[in-house]
């Protein structure tokens, strides 16, 4: 058995992991090494894998409990696994804006695990940003102002007219979406403390944050805009390339991500698992 190798992909975050086959049960040493890499680098990438949805779920359980995503139907045999498909006909994509998954829930996802089945000939990368570095780069005065501020997040923020209406416009997702008029909203600290590492990071995005508690949307917009631009400065980010058989797993508690929509006329098909998270503090 080869030793697991951890290779950072940027100075900000992200690492590729070599020397492991996640279709097979992992030893305690292997799973411990991968968990540590996840906490150290916030985004991990494992290439050259051939896994079934059931095997993807088993690997996900090394990090926590797989969750049921509330807005998209899961696969029949593995309801915790959803398929994300952009077809040749689609001009917009799923996840095409900086955000942290499910921040509109009382208990947002711990992390998201995406496995590539079909990818375009070029493009379709995912960008990630490190919220710890973004927070640490702020002035002491800004940190003091943000302390105690609550951001209000909505599932409808990036989907004007509702998520169902938006999904019906996507050829690859219109039959997978769960019809619902319900909008999920939740308030969370703008400065979030990671439950494992204890590091502080920003937890606000244009994708989901509508306003701050006890403030109007108009009053909140300038600060949300500043923070949204600040957190994706180049020195806080990395860009990850997909290949068939690539699995990526990112920590929702300290990152944001952006699915780049630059592969018009081509397909991109992924299987995603999200893990049950805790209420942000």
Task: Give the pLDDT mean for 190-197.
Answer: 98
pLDDT tens per residue, range 27-60: 999 999 999 999 999 999 999 999 999 999 999 9
Strand order in the sheet with 126-130: 237-240, 126-130, 255-259
Is 194 annotated as catalytic?
A: no
* Alpha carbon distance 260, 98 (integer Å): 10
Judged against a pLDDT cut of 70, whether residue 165 lies above it is answered with: no
Is 101 annotated as catalytic?
A: yes
Q: Per the residue annotation, which of 41, 101, 192, 268 is the catalytic one?
A: 101
Q: Per the residue annotation, which of 42, 99, 206, 208 is the catalytic one?
A: 99
pLDDT tens per residue, range 95-129: 889 999 999 999 999 999 999 999 999 999 999 99
pLDDT for the residue numbered 117: 98
Residue 167 binned pLDDT confidence (cut-offs 50, 70, 90) = low
pLDDT tens per residue, range 220-275: 999 999 999 999 999 999 999 999 999 999 999 999 999 999 999 999 999 999 99
pLDDT tens per residue, range 68-104: 988 889 999 999 999 999 999 988 888 889 999 999 9
> In terms of Cα–Cα distance, which of 107, 202, 103 is closest to 154?
103
Per CATH, the homologous superfamily of domain 5-274 is: Clavaminate synthase-like (3.60.130.10)
Is 272 annotated as catalytic?
A: yes
* Domain residue spans of the chain: 5-274
* Alpha carbon distance 14, 41 (integer Å): 5
Q: Look at strands 255-259 and 185-189 and give their pairing.
A: unpaired
How is residue 235 annotated by DSSP? G
């Amino acid at each position: 058995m080869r030793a697991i190798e951890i290779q950072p992909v940027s100075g900000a975050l992200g690492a590729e992991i070599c020397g492991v086959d996640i279709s097979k049960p992992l030893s305690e040493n292997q799973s411990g090494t991968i968990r540590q890499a996840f906490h150290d680098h916030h985004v991990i990438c494992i290439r050259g894998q051939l896994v079934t949805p059931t095997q993807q779920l088993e690997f996900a359980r090394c990090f926590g409990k797989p969750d049921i995503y509330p807005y998209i139907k899961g696969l029949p045999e593995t309801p915790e696994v959803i398929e994300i498909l952009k077809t040749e006909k689609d001009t917009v994509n799923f996840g095409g804006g900086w955000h942290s998954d499910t921040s509109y829930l009382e208990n947002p996802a711990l992390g998201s695990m995406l496995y590539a089945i079909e990818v375009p000939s070029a493009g379709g990368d995912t960008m990630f940003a490190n919220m710890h570095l973004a927070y640490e780069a702020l002035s002491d005065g800004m940190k003091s102002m943000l302390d105690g501020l609550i951001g209000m997040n909505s599932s409808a923020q990036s989907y004007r007219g509702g998520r169902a209406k938006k999904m019906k416009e996507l050829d690859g997702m219109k039959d997978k979406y769960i019809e619902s008029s319900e909008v999920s909203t939740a308030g969370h600290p703008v400065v979030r403390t990671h439950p494992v590492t204890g590091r502080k990071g920003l937890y606000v995005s244009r994708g989901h944050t509508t306003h701050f508690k006890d403030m109007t949307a108009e009053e909140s917009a300038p600060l949300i805009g500043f923070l949204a631009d600040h957190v994706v400065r180049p020195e806080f980010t990395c860009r990850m390339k997909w290949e068939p058989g690539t699995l990526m797993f990112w920590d929702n508690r300290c990152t944001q991500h952006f699915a780049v929509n630059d592969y018009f006329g081509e397909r991109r098909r992924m299987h995603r698992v999200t893990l049950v998270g805790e209420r942000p503090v």
